[in-house]
Amino acid sequence: MTFKKGPAVGYLVTLVMGFALAFSASVLADRHNSENRGLPVDEMRMLAEVIDRIKTAYVEEVDDRELIENAIKGMLTGLDPHSDFLPPEAFADLQESTTGQFGGLGIEVTMEDGFVRVVSPIDDTPAFRAGIQAGDLITKLDDTPVQGLSLSEAVELMRGEPGSSITLTVVREGQANPFELTIERAVIRVTSVRSRMLEPGFASVRISSFQQNTAADVVREINRLREEANGELRGLVLDLRNNPGGLLSASVDVSDIFLSDKLVVYTESRIPNNSFRYQSRRQTLLPDLNLVVLINGGSASASEIVAGALQDHKRAVIMGTQSFGKGSVQTIMPLSQDSTALKLTTARYFTPSGTSIQGTGITPDILVDQGSFTAQEVRLSREADLQGALQNGQAAADDAVDNADDGRLRDQDYQMYEALNMLKGLAILKP
């Protein structure tokens, strides 16, 4: 087959080559290694020929802009599950999500084998209340199959007017058949930090996502807990379960609350001057408070940065199950046309000990699966049961321990119950 360079092909070659040159110049302008500067002219001609064939022979007429955007999406989605092309609507949605308010279902997702994989539902959102779980695969959005969509296209379909509904077809490990969940969309207002006293002297702070103000919110909640404990806060559970991540800077700031003058995370990139080391400050709020961090398979990205830093510096005991394993950094690169942008994976991040968690995740120091607990009391004879046993001789204590609250925590959240037990042990060993 002969390649005939007609006017349309010549125009498209110029267009595609111009786009590639502009992109190469903006991202790699300061690269000193020249061996990769040349563009594959034959392959660019092939791309232009494919576009020309589509324009002239496809069964329906296709807009030039749509073709070029599809070519860009294909380039990016073929790289990894997190790189993507962001049209104006998706770019605006991404900017909204980092400030803590946006419209939709309330789930963090990624692409896996052509399907949408749920990284984590966000607390107190429609998806959370409907029973969506970390690890679920979404195969259809209403009547639209997910396969063939980009991540941004799938996310766009899940968003919509508050009050409108969407039906998700879900495949879940352990269930033989797919099932459907109909969820009503809502305005998602993410409260990223919550706290509570578990029992006197011991508290938990839950972070559901890392946003601009997360570290300041954590400090506020810890100060409130210390007041509630009359200054006798003896231990804290930092709950990062089902936290899909968020802003890298926020994860560094949260780590800084517990680490003094320590390396938190570092990144390695192919772009010169784009590899960074993030350090905690010398003065920190809680350098010594007994700390347990809870993670699970829905803990990803920024959550893993915090858990990895605290684990490497032996600042906290990490409990729960293996984390998600997203150890890559995405950079948002605004483009010059129509408020569009690229979300491009530009670096890997490493824990302070030099461990990359990409694809493997953080391994807990103590593995605790979430499950139900069934108590079984075995009554053995004691000294007081023996005939003629001596009496104690002291008055019985008036402040007998009431284990009712402890039992409720155990039944409702077994991982948190075990984290509390660990804190009690740490408080005994290190008051």
Catalytic residue positions, numbered: 301, 312, 326
Q: Are 94 and 343 in contact (CB under 8 A)?
A: yes
Q: Where are the alpha helices (DSSP H) in 132-179?
A: 151-158
Instruction: Give the separation between CA 115 and CA 117, rounded to whole angstroms.
Output: 6
Q: What are phi and psi of 424, to 5 degrees?
A: -65, -40
CA distance 238 to 252: 15
Phi-psi region of 238 (alpha: psi -120 to 50; beta: other; left: phi over 0): beta
- HSE value, Cβ hemisphere, 13 Å, CA-based, for 145: 3
Three-state DSSP class for 93?
helix
List C-alpha distances in Å: 66 to 53, 91, 147.
15, 17, 19
Q: Tokens 């949408």 sit at which residue?
A: 116
Q: CA-to-CA distance for 349 and 328, rounded, in angstroms? A: 6
